[in-house]
Amino acid sequence: MAVFEGSFIQTEPLRFAVVIGRFNDLVSVKLLEGCQDCLKRHGVDTNPHGNQVDYVWVPGSFEVPVVARQLALSHRYDAIICLGAVIRGQTPHFDIVSSEVAKGVAAASFQTGVPVIFGILTADTMQQALERAGIKSNHGWDYAMSALEMASLMRQLRSNLAEPYSRNTQSLPASFQSANLGNLAAESEELG
Ligand code: INI
């Protein structure tokens, strides 16, 4: 059997898209800076005119999922990073916006099979949001780390799991082999 883990090296072939909500851009621009800093320090060319990262700006966090899904469907990217800030003190519908965005981002990832990173910062106050976007730490960095790890992991899984199981029956579970289903699998491949 095997252990699969994403790595943070050999990032040259990876392609990313970053979707950024303009609402509360005092915070989202700082998240973007942290995200770019992390990608750059791991060897990614973050120049918008380069060939590794595309950037898409949307009005607010609520618009992030539809764009993330569209980008994921293009299958041009190893991971999509969603950045935005929803601040409780500034919106009576904080819970609605934040939960819809979380659901939308998860759906975009699940439906397309492309890692879509949830980098939507939720905070009670602007002060708290700024502290997490550069003053104390910068969560933009953490979101980029998740994107690097998932991008690399999915590449590994794609290349390893692409191997047809009938050609590698040794790695099938014992129950599968003892039921002699390995032969069935080989037969069905020959048939079809
Ligand atoms: N968008 C945010 O990204 N953060 C917020 O805190 C926020 N507030 O406070 O309302 C917000 N609203 C805009 C929303 O994302 C949409 O852009 C808008 O509703 C148009 O669909």
DSSP character string of 61-115: GGGHHHHHHHHHHTT--SEEEEEEEEEGGG-TTHHHHHHHHHHHHHHHHHHHTS-
Residue stretches of the chain with pLDDT short of 70: 90, 164-192
Residue 183 forms part of a structural domain: no
Ligand 1 pocket residue status of 7, Cβ below 6 Å: no
Domain range spanning residue 121? 16-166
Separation of CA 149 and ligand 1 centre (Å): 29
pLDDT of residue 188: 46
pLDDT of residue 24: 96
Which residue among 19, 27, 61 has the greatest number of ligand 1 atoms within 8 angstroms of its CB, and so is best to mutate? Answer: 61
Residue 8 forms part of a structural domain: no
Residue 2 forms part of a structural domain: no
Residue 171 forms part of a structural domain: no
Could you give the number of structural domains in the chain? 1
pLDDT of residue 173: 54
Ligand 1 pocket residue status of 105, Cβ below 6 Å: no
Rounded Cα gap, residues 134 and 33, in angstroms: 9
Residue 175 forms part of a structural domain: no
Separation of CA 84 and ligand 1 centre (Å): 9
pLDDT of residue 171: 55
Residue 148 forms part of a structural domain: yes
DSSP character string of 132-151: TBTTS-BHHHHHHHHHHHHH
Give the SS3 label for residue 120: strand
Ligand 1 pocket residue status of 60, Cβ below 6 Å: yes
Ligand 1 pocket residue status of 97, Cβ below 6 Å: yes
Separation of CA 82 and ligand 1 centre (Å): 14
Separation of CA 96 and ligand 1 centre (Å): 10
Ligand 1 pocket residue status of 85, Cβ below 6 Å: yes
Residue 135 forms part of a structural domain: yes
pLDDT of residue 119: 98
Rounded Cα gap, residues 161 and 18, in angstroms: 28
**What is the spatial order of strands in the sheet that 116-123 belongs to?**
53-58, 16-21, 79-87, 116-123
Q: Which of 82, 140, 139 has its CA nearest to residue 114?
A: 82
Residue 176 forms part of a structural domain: no
The domain that contains 126 carries what CATH number? 3.40.50.960
pLDDT of residue 185: 46
Type of residue at 6: G
Rounded Cα gap, residues 46 and 41, in angstroms: 10
As annotated, the active-site residues are 93
